[in-house]
Chains A and B, each alone.
Chain A
Amino acid sequence: MFIKQIPFLKAERLVSRSAFNVLLTLVISVTIASCGTNDDNNSSTNFDRSELLNNYADNIAIPAYEEYVSSTNNLLTAVHEFALSPEDNNKLLTCIEHLKIVSLKWQLASLFDFGPASDYALLEFTNSYPTSTDDIESSIGDESWIAGQASNIDNVGLPALDYLLNEEGAMDKLNANPERVEHLVKQVEFLNEQGELVLETWKSSYHANFVSMTGTEMGSSIGAMLNAFNRVFEANIRKQKLGLPSGVSTFSGNPLPSHVEAKYANYWSIDLLYEALLSIEKIYMGNSSSSNFIDMEGVGFDDYLISLGDEAFGQGLNNDIVAQIQSSKEAVLSLNDPLSEFVLTNQETCIYVYTELQALVVLFKVDMMSSLGVLITYQDNDGD
């Protein structure tokens, strides 16, 4: 049996209210916009994408991993030395100093979350927080515990090390329990090993692959890199580092101070957020990350946009992005450590900083992607 013809009252325009839906909407606008601009933009420019990819591989991605791995090597040496004399407070302090360096170096490396990093789930194993302290405690002394199991994502990586090294009374706890120190060493070994694996894969095989896929279609290197860049910025920087702790991204709007990054160190959260923005800037500009080539101007997405000409979606967009990166960085400096307390006392300021970051997300994810004719292929919330 069939019913035909349903009369209806014209619906109000559907207005999405939550930040969540606004995000989803952005995904769509990109898709639609890129259909219109894809061809003309790409065909009207002689931009050398191969040079761009070589610059990203040789001067940014690989050096970023090298510096990150070098910092995890140093941390490993420090914990090995601490393990030999766990009563030595200075040795612990050295470990903590190195952990902070690793955490800072991680920010740039984290933005290359595709290819080898994605194969080894580097981001998930390295920086998923808040960490499960219950799981960390129960795995201490457990011979069968294997760091790389998927179920351990919530108790390994930088957040677990932050807990073991920076929690209140860390020194006494470590000094009193050799198994705790052993677990610390295991954790750092795993962190280091993961970084080395990804770096090696980039150098040995992925590099050639990466620089050869010069298109902008799905599966191309530019597509993979820009999708990761946008996704990490949106989810791991904007939402995780600030949105959740400040309550901008929670359903209730209540701040979640326990969700700040490096919460046991307590005074690192803003440095890490700032470093993340510097990393965003480096990648956008294509500037070398290697300390041997400080401020080396390479061919980056800024040049790609400029090559599109003196248009709103070309040079004009580049100007907007550069300005917005600047104001985002300035905004972050209006936050104060410890962020876990600041989100409770100064939520308004946090919301202001968040809107600055959000404006940058839109410029990258909607405008830049459309100008470059690259599709966003990830979603904020998976289907099915």
Chain B
Amino acid sequence: MTFFASCNPDKSGCTDPSASNYDDNAEEDDGSCSYDVTVPADYTFIDNNGFSTVSFSGQHQRLNMLSEMTTYMKTANGGAVVDGATLINMFGNESHTWEDCDNLEMTGSSKQLRSKTVGGDPETVAQFEGWMNALGSATTGELEGAGVVTSNDGTKSYMQNAMGHEWTQLIEKGLMGACFYYNISQVYLGEGKMNVANDDADPSAEDYYTTMEHHWDEAYGYFTSISECINNDRFWLKYATDINLNSRNSMDVIDLAFRTGRAAISSDLLPLRDAQIQIIREELELVCGAIAIHYINGAIENIGDDAIRNHELSEAKAFIMSLPYGENTMVSLADANSIQSTIGDNFYNVTTASLIDARSQLASYLGISSADAESL
């Protein structure tokens, strides 16, 4: 099926020469450009000789690293001792032996989360490492006021600090933002990684993809849930699947944009690629904010249950903190800090009113209606 937008009689039309309906006479672009490009139903791209041109093993390794760290951190909820130094070694992939259930040769590999966390920004790295150490100290009882808090119904237990912050959530969800989201939105879809060669594949040397294709795949890798050994969806793909605002599913939107953009690159249709970059950035930001709102709602519903409320607010805090890591975001670092202070730093003292206030702030930044925000 082919779609051609009709041409306007005046001077507006499609002004992109790479489009199939490029209008030589048009002076102003009216958004009608369409392209001859084949978008596969799943993220499979092969060259003329049948070789796959897709590779993002570094991203796969980092997703698995964060999963292993999370599994280890969660043992604290059951009262186990967690070693802060071990977590820090995992973070930097230094002298750590991974379980590596996908057999990616993670142990001793050059891949690590730390150097990719906001490009290794020292302040951000120090914050995460500080939380890792604090979690470790809490599990050996060295941190006053910290301990395992159990829900009113006795079914859920979480290791939290004296203010109700749950390090495991701050670290896991925080790294989804500071590492995965940051790298997708700012790094791999940024000019530096996109204005690169797109004709340098050399199948005879087993280089099956161009530099641009590879960078795109790396962005996609951070969005996926890929694993042979971990069956549940995880990270951004999982959360995007949960968001259905404006009559569309965010996972479908982002996944389609990734496939379309990749096909556009392989056909050297860069304006089409750029449109997908815009879609991915905006939709991921929406997911990040919507998930934060979802957890604020969870805290409102469980306002009287210390363990659950604190848990939900820790999740919310991590996603709010993640919002400024996108490119050209609606929520700046200052905005995110302001929303956090509306919630309040001590989760034992939050009020329903302050949570509703924080929710409205978030929704208004992201253009989510108040009815939608309440139902998230």
Contact = CB atoms under 8 A, between A and B. Distances in A.
Given A16-B327, A25-B192, A251 B41 contact: no
Contact of B123 (A4, A13, A254): A254
B218 A10 contact: no
Interface string A106-135: 000000000000000000000000000000
Query: Chain A contact residues (Cβ within 8 angstroms of B): what range?
Result: 35 or more
A9 B275 contact: yes
A11 B122 contact: no
A282 interface: no
Nearest to A24: B192
Interface string B131-155: 0000000000000000000000000
Contact of B275 (A11, A24, A252): A11
Contacts of A238: none
Contact of A5 (B35, B187, B328): B35
Interface string A1-33: 111111111111111111011011101100110
Contacts of A11: 271, 274-275, 277-278
Contacts of A32: 195
A384 interface: yes
Interface in B113-127: 115-116, 118-119, 121-124
A21 to B, nearest CB: 5
Contacts of A253: 333
Given A12-B278, A24-B192, A151-B94, A4 B38 contact: yes
A382 B271 CA distance: 26
B74 interface: no
Contacts of A2: 38-41
A319 B196 CA distance: 31
A28 to B, nearest CB: 4
A21 B192 contact: yes
B67 to A, nearest CB: 19
Contact of A10 (B2, B119, B275, B327): B275
B121 A250 contact: yes
Interface in B25-51: 29, 31-41
For A12, A15, A24, A31, which residue has the most chain B Cβ atoms within 10 angstroms? A24
B192 A27 contact: yes
A197 to B, nearest CB: 25
B274 A14 contact: yes
A256 B123 contact: yes
A259 B126 CA distance: 12
B58 A6 contact: no
Contact of B218 (A6, A251, A383): A383
Question: Is the interface on chain B under 10, 10 to 19, 20 to 34, or 35 or more residues?
Answer: 35 or more
A292 interface: no
Interface in B277-325: 277-278
B122 A16 contact: no
B5 interface: yes
Contacts of A291: none
B271 A20 contact: no
A204 interface: no
B371 interface: no
A21 B31 CA distance: 28
Contacts of B41: 1-3
A7 B5 contact: yes
Interface string A27-58: 11001100000000000000000000000000
B16 to A, nearest CB: 7
Contact of B187 (A3, A244, A381): A381
Given A15-B328, A18-B186, A244-B122, A7 B3 contact: yes
B2 A251 contact: no
Contacts of A7: 3, 5, 32-34
Contact of B191 (A14, A31, A256): A14
A16 B194 CA distance: 12
Contact of B190 (A10, A16, A254): A16
B16 A28 contact: no
Interface in A193-230: none
Interface in A346-384: 380-384
A15 B194 CA distance: 12
B123 A251 contact: yes
Interface in B134-192: 186-187, 190-192
B202 to A, nearest CB: 15
Nearest to A20: B119
A4 B327 contact: no
Nearest to A249: B121
Nearest to B197: A31
Nearest to A379: B192
A23 B193 CA distance: 11
B186 A6 contact: no
B123 A28 contact: no
A253 B196 CA distance: 29
B351 to A, nearest CB: 28
Contact of A24 (B38, B111, B124, B191): B191
B214 interface: yes
B210 interface: no
B190 A24 contact: yes
Interface string A236-258: 00000000100000111110100
Interface of B: 1-3, 5, 15-16, 29, 31-41, 57-58, 94-95, 111, 115-116, 118-119, 121-124, 186-187, 190-197, 214-215, 218, 256, 260, 271-272, 274-278, 327-328, 333
16 contacts: A6-B39, A6-B256, A7-B32, A7-B34, A12-B278, A14-B327, A16-B327, A18-B186, A20-B119, A24-B187, A28-B191, A28-B192, A28-B195, A244-B122, A251-B333, A383-B218
Given A28-B195, A151-B94, 19 more contacts: A2-B41, A6-B35, A6-B39, A6-B260, A7-B32, A8-B272, A9-B275, A11-B271, A11-B275, A14-B274, A14-B278, A21-B327, A23-B192, A24-B187, A24-B192, A24-B193, A25-B191, A256-B122, A381-B116
The 9 A-B residue pairs with the shortest CB-CB distance in the complex, in nearest-first order? A24-B192, A384-B58, A8-B275, A11-B278, A11-B275, A11-B274, A9-B31, A251-B121, A28-B195
